[in-house]
Structure 1
Amino acid sequence: MAQRTYNAWDLRFGIWGIRNYYTTLEERAIAGAVISPGYIAMTMAAAGLATAGLLLNSPAAIIGSMCVAPFMAPSRAVCIGTIYRMPQVAGRGLVKQIGGLLLMGSGIAYALTMLLQHVIGGYEITPEIALRAIPTSQDFALNLIIATSAGAAAALALTAEPHRVESPWGQVLDAVIGVEIAVSLLPPAAVVGIGLAFGEPKIAERALLLMLLNIIGLNILGSGLILFIRGIRRPILDLEKSIRSVTAETMVRVPGFIDEGSTIDITLLSKKEALINVVLRRHFGGEVPKTLAETIANDVRSRTGCITDITVDVIPLLVHQGIDTIPAEAAH
């Protein structure tokens, strides 16, 4: 490759040198917007634990509910979907986030509180409930700071050390930050249901306001702002996907090409340079053009304006089909 000349703006704004980084974020956003049975079950379990902790005035139980709550994924779906201009993904993520909190979080809290009041009775507004039900202006400010910090931490986990995103350490970090996110969302949602069960709509209204304020701090002031500042943009995603698409179109023309098992990995170095690693699986028959890498490079440059270094690893497929050669009587 010719001598590299970097643009300072490119290096400051954007994540470079990480394989498939921008499409990985897109895949995370799409997956995070899906409402799965596991998400429903975990949210219901977390809501039940939070409700019990609030009624018992037990901080330990409330913290335990935060460890179970699965609210990291929908928050990322909202933020990444918005920045990538994918309104359907962002919308589904928001529905998953708010719907999970209100329908399952508040709903379970309401049903469980009503059941306990009917069967046992004697439950009252505890200090832990009052903390979310009758927040002062100082409480609102501090809760907003907590939510914004949690959102910023979630975004920094993706951008500060992007090479760790898919590593075991990255998954542990996600789990820890997920607890911090749940601090801002789950207890207020549970208090909404508890307030309604106690016949105290004012408590429910104030807890709902606190929860919505925390969602704004988490999604917009926290995660969204950090991702935007770090240069996560739709045009860079489009560039990564365009390079992959052009490379795939060239690979398909190789004799004996097998789509299954063939891979294309893109590592953007800047908006004008990239590394392409290709694993090409093929049947025997015909030859792989010795100029395949050069052809891919020329196609990518002409259609995307990006200069590339390319590695092509050709893997021939060896097949032995022996089942049909076994005599019928030997198969019995």
Structure 2
Amino acid sequence: MERGELQEEDPTPPADGSSDGWMRAIVRDARAITANQVAVRGLVSTAIGALVLLLPDATTTLVSFVVIALMFVAGGMDIWYALTGKRWFGRRTPRLLAAPRGLAAIAFAVAMVALTVLGAGFITLSLTVGVFGLYLAVRGVIALVSAIVNRRERDWVPGLARGGIAILLAVLALTVPTSVVTASIVTLATGAILLGLVMIAWAFRGPSARSGLDPATATVPEVVWDWIVGSDIGRRERSAQAATLYFEKPGRRNKLGTWWVMLILSVAIASFAVIADSTAVVIGAMLVAPLMTPILGLAGAMVNGWARRAVHSAVLVGTGTVASVVLAYGIAGWSPVAISFATNSQITSRVSPNTVDLLIAIAAGAAGAFATVNSRVASGIAGVAIAVALVPPLAVVGISLNGGRFSDAGGAALLFLTNFVAIVLAAALVFVLTGFARPFALRHRPRQLLSTVAPVVAGAAIILVPLMTNSESLLHSETRAREASETVEEWLGEDTEFVITDVTVAEDTVVVDLTGPGDTPSAEDLLDALQEDFIEPIGLELNVTPVQVTQLDPPS
């Protein structure tokens, strides 16, 4: 056994069934984990990720301080590099460009602290994200200039990509700061938990025979790579699993024919379900929809360097998407009932996607990929099909186009693209970690694999803009409605007999619906109180439903 390797214990309970035997086994495992440095680092990473998710308020405050500290450190390193030409880590850039970048970092960090001290007296997350967005914009511009200046000396495409991504993140940070912070924190925390679990699992399994890694000195990248190599499922098993993802010989035509039949039937079911506003029937359409297979096949082909299979899967997804929209358009044209786009829940729930839909699709894509490579959880693929809707959004696109509702059609198309991109990226990561991806391709063809993944990543970055905008708008509306509800409660008082039915904020008007007997307090007083909650002038629409109570005494 390699040094530091955790010895796998026999899970069989002791013969006497005593709890002492179980306790001794638990203590042995705990000692083995604490003796392995990789396992300890994995536990720390998992614990940090869990604490970040469980303590959101403390996390946001800590993030603000960490961002300020990192900006000071990054600025100091850039200035040191500009003066001496020495750099501890990071990419080497022209020293003339490193100097202004470092000065900008320190200036933004000082401005953030100054605004905090002179302003609210504490560091706010919006302030941190806004200033950091300006800093990212400066870095993005410098990265673009550096790539253009040095285009003859080295490959300048990655530099352009880094600069473009930095500018895109800066725009998001300045326009939708709350959504950016939430998505970033959740992603990093989940990544820390996943990384920690991989390290703990590696410690239990031990290093591969070829690597001979020492847990005391192994770095995190070495551990992750050794886990990938040790998880390789082999050529035979990979071929068996690929047969379920790709429509190849023998019987290629029969497989494609079956796939098209199921797609047409699922689109028809989904279209009629949307028209009838039936959630149960929509779920049935999700279960029989076959679009998940070529999407997972595209992810598997990307991480294995199978160009032909990737093209075939992408073409199948594209043609299936177009056919689904056209079929739904035709079905809507012959609909025997009128479609209410304003009240149909199957339509309204799919025309305004946000970052929550992206996170759902990421989790569903990971689950679908894991169910594909692990036969013991293959039955869970039906639940994945329900969790992430692929055909229903396409049905909504066709129905909305038929009704001339182009905005609704665009929202539903955005939901489908969100699901598609998220499933591909999440499935690709799971395929790498579970051994479906070939280690040979990952090691010897990294540029080829990155070139195939890059378009999907770029598409995800573009899709993030409207998703975060929708999330920010929804969060802003809910926050305003909650504040207005609290103001209405204070206006009514504690002894009121009125019941608040609904409080909504529609553009520049607060709509309040009340139910109860008698007369309400002064509406002018409520408007004055509401105006204190809003920066812009606000109107009031007060709707009161009277209640008449008739009470009769029992007969003597």
Same fold, judged at TM 0.5 (above): yes
For the structure 1 residues 155 and 17, does the alpha-carbon distance in structure 2 shift closer, same or farther, using more than 3 Å as the test? closer
Unpaired segments of 5 or more residues in structure 2?
1-207, 214-222, 443-556
Deviation, structure 1 residue 141: 1.1
User: Do residues 115 (structure 1) and 334 (structure 2) align?
Assistant: yes
Size of the aligned set, in residue pairs, is 218
| Residue 78 (1) aligns with residue 298 (2) | yes
Counterparts of 1:61 and 1:157 in 2: how far apart (Å)? Answer: 25
How far the C-alpha of 1:101 sits from its partner, in A, is 2.5
Give deviations 1:77-114, integer Å, cap 9, x for gaps.
101111111122112112212321231x2122111110
CA displacement at 1:30 relative to structure 2: 3.1
1:233: which partner in 2?
437
Residue 48 of structure 1 corresponds to which residue in structure 2? 268
Q: Distance in 2 between matches of 1:129 and 1:201?
A: 13
1:151 aligns with 2:365: yes
Q: How far 1:201 moved relative to its partner?
A: 1.5
Q: Which among 157, 162, 172 is matched to residue 379 of structure 2? A: 172
Shift of 1:140: 1.6
Paired residue type of 1:112: I
What one-letter code is carried by the residue in structure 1 that aligns with 2:402? A
CA distance in 2: counterparts of 1:176 and 1:63, whole angstroms = 10
2:398 counterpart letter in structure 1? G
Is 2:263 aligned against 1:12?
Answer: no
**Greater gyration radius:** 2
> What is residue 237 of structure 2 aligned with on the other side?
21
User: 1:170 offset after TM fit, Å?
Assistant: 5.2
Contact 2:266–2:289, Cα closer than 8 Å, also in 1: yes
Structure 1 Cα separation of the partners of residues 232 and 430 of structure 2 = 16
Cα distance in 2 for partners of 1:32, 1:149 equals: 28
Which shows bigger deviation, 76-85 or 5-14?
5-14
Any conservation in 2 of the 1:32–1:93 contact (CA below 8 Å)? no
In the alignment, the residues of structure 2 paired with residue 129 and residue 228 of structure 1 have an alpha-carbon distance, to the nearest angstrom, of: 36
Structure with greater strand share of residues: 1
> Residue 95 of structure 1 is aligned with which of 292, 315, 330?
315
Q: Which residue of 2 aligns with 1:140?
A: 354
Q: Does 2:425 correspond to 1:211?
A: no
Match in the other structure for 2:402: 197
Structure-2 residue corresponding to 1:274: none
Alpha-carbon shift at residue 121 of structure 1 (Å): 4.2
SS at 2:404 equivalent: coil
Shift in alpha-carbon separation, 1:127–1:177, aligned structure 2, 3 A: closer
Query: Are 2:124 and 1:124 aligned?
Result: no
Partner of 2:186: none
In the TM superposition, what is the alpha-carbon distance from 1:42 to its structure 2 partner? 0.6
Q: In 2, Cα distance between the equivalents of 1:111 and 1:158? A: 34
Q: Distance in 2 between matches of 1:30 and 1:141?
A: 31
Q: Which amino acid aligns with 2:285?
A: S
Given that 2:287 and 2:386 are in contact with CA atoms closer than 8 Å, whether structure 1 keeps it comes out as yes
Q: 1:223 to 1:190 in 2, by over 3 A?
A: same
- The 5 Å alignment of 1:278-297 reads none
Change (3 A) 1:214 1:86: same
Distance in 1 separating the partners of 2:315 and 2:232: 32
Cα distance in structure 1, aligned partners of 2:299 and 2:235: 21
2:267 is the counterpart of 1:60:
no
Once residues 274 and 227 of structure 2 are traced to their aligned partners in structure 1, the CA distance between those partners, rounded to angstroms, is: 45
**Distance across 2 between alignment mates of 1:231 and 1:54:** 40
Paired amino acid for 2:227: R
Give identity over the alignment, percent: 24
CA RMSD of aligned residues (A): 2.8
Asked if 2 retains the 8 angstrom alpha-carbon contact of 1:69 and 1:179, the reply is no
Cα offset, 1:149, TM superposition: 1.0
Check the 8 A contact 2:300/2:437 in 1, yes or no: no
Q: What's the CA shift for 1:231?
A: 4.7
| 8 Å CA contact 1:75, 1:219 repeated in 2 | yes
- Partners in 1 of 2:248 and 2:313 — Cα distance? 7
Deviation at 1:57, TM superposition (A): 1.2
Deviations, residues 109-145 of structure 1 (Å, cap 9, x unaligned): 11111011xxx34222112101112x1xxx4212111
- Sort the Cα spacing of 1:196 and 1:32 in 2 relative to 1 into closer, same or farther, 3 A: farther
Shift of 1:147: 1.1
When the two structures are superposed, what TM-score results if normalisation uses the length of structure 2? Answer: 0.36
Distance 1:46 1:99, change over 3 A: same
Query: Is the contact made by 1:13 and 1:231 (CA closer than 8 Å) also made in structure 2?
Result: yes
* Alpha-carbon distance in 2 for matches of 1:110, 1:17: 44
How far off is 1:193 after superposition?
0.1
With normalisation by structure 1, the TM-score equals: 0.59
Q: 1:109 to 1:74 in 2, by over 3 A?
A: same
CA contact (8 A) 1:189 1:211 kept: yes
Look up the SS of the partner of 1:233 in the other structure. coil
State the one-letter code of the partner of 1:68: V
